[in-house]
Copies of this chain bind each other. A is one copy, B any other.
Amino acid sequence: MQGSNSTGRKIRIAVDAMGGDHAPHEIVGGAVQAAKELEVEIILVGPEAEIKSELGKFDVTDLPIRLVNATEVIRDGEQPIIAVMSKPDSSIPVATRLVQSGEADAIVSAGSTGACMVSAMKYLGTLPGIDRPMAGGPFLQLSPETSVFDMGVNVYCQPSDLVNFAVAGCVFARSFLGIENPTVALLNIGSEEGKGNQLAKEAFPLLQKSGMNFIGNVEGSDIPKGKANVIVCDGFVGNILLKFCEGLGETVSHWLTKELKESLPQAELEKVTTKLWRLMSPGAVLGGAPLWGVNGLVTIAHGSARAPQITYTIGEAKSCVEKGFIDLLKKELEKAQALISA
């Protein structure tokens, strides 16, 4: 167990009460539930009057919840960089500064991922060797032990970035899936070495000497087949795949609904198609995902999250703090970077 937690006091989670499609009501509801269930201290960040009024709807007697005022609000559609820079007293920057100053151990936000990222880079900085946060995690519940990095943040990549993605994926596989020696593969258009675009060709030898369990190139079909625990690619490819998969899940579920409407009872059909849609939807895999590579724990929940998902994401953030996630990632990144520059 790490830092603040080893003193025995509760892990403190700063919750962005204003982020997400259903803020502040569902966010506050989820945070209240977390304070009841999860042995965490909740710091709700948002405009004081509004949050107080929301809190009034719940019984919060004796719960470890406090409020930190944020006087500004970032609106949908605002450019993340401009929003964070021009509204330093909105909930995301205020929550981030709570981690910076050590008043909170982690942030949970269902708000703009871009704003969280900019705020994290501004106030927390990135880990050594990392220029931008990395986005990744399990891609498909159909192959739940396979994660993909990067899923969209890093459009332009250096070969060494792909090594960092692999490190992040390995930390994820070990910490969250309990896989001791995760396999790492490079997403490519053929299995032989020497295949692919310039980035793939240059990343291959680096991954070989990175000290990780690198099994070589894999193809697109190997993601659903779960051929490796960690599959790395640039964020352009990762994001297109991710969204393709989301769209396909929707289309296939609709098709199945039509195809089987005479053969299955309505309720059963709905159960199957909803389950399939979820299994094919990368966004639905986790309650939230940490921003990989920033020097502090920022956990992003889905914009559509309701109270139960917020509670769940707070639980995940707590678990990351307990596991010493940031220190672990930092150590593993340093190890791989030393090996590839040797």
Hey, which bits of chain A sit against chain B, CB under 8 A? 140, 142-143, 152, 155-156, 187-189, 196-198, 200, 219-225, 233-237, 239-248, 250-252, 255-256, 259-260, 263-264, 268, 272, 275-276, 279-280
Contacts and interface: CB of A to CB of B under 8 A. Distances in A.
Given A247-B220, A248-B248, A260-B272, A255 B239 contact: no
B245 A248 contact: yes
B220 A241 contact: yes
A189 B236 contact: yes
Q: Which of A222, A237, A275 has the most chain B CB atoms closer than 10 A to its own CB?
A: A237
Given A196-B236, A239-B189, A142 B244 contact: no
Contact of A220 (B187, B189, B243): B243
Contact of A251 (B224, B256, B268): B224
A221 B236 contact: no
Nearest to A275: B259
A240 B272 CA distance: 28
Contacts of A223: 244, 247-248
A123 to B, nearest CB: 26
What are the 6 A-B residue pairs with the smallest beta carbon separation, nearest first?
Answer: A221-B247, A220-B244, A220-B243, A224-B251, A220-B240, A189-B239
Contacts of A275: 259
10 contacts: A155-B196, A156-B197, A189-B240, A197-B236, A220-B239, A220-B240, A224-B247, A248-B280, A256-B272, A263-B268
B221 A243 contact: yes
B252 A276 contact: yes
B240 A197 contact: no
From A140, A252, A263, A276, residue with most partner B Cβ within 10 Å: A252
A236 B242 CA distance: 16
A142 B279 CA distance: 19
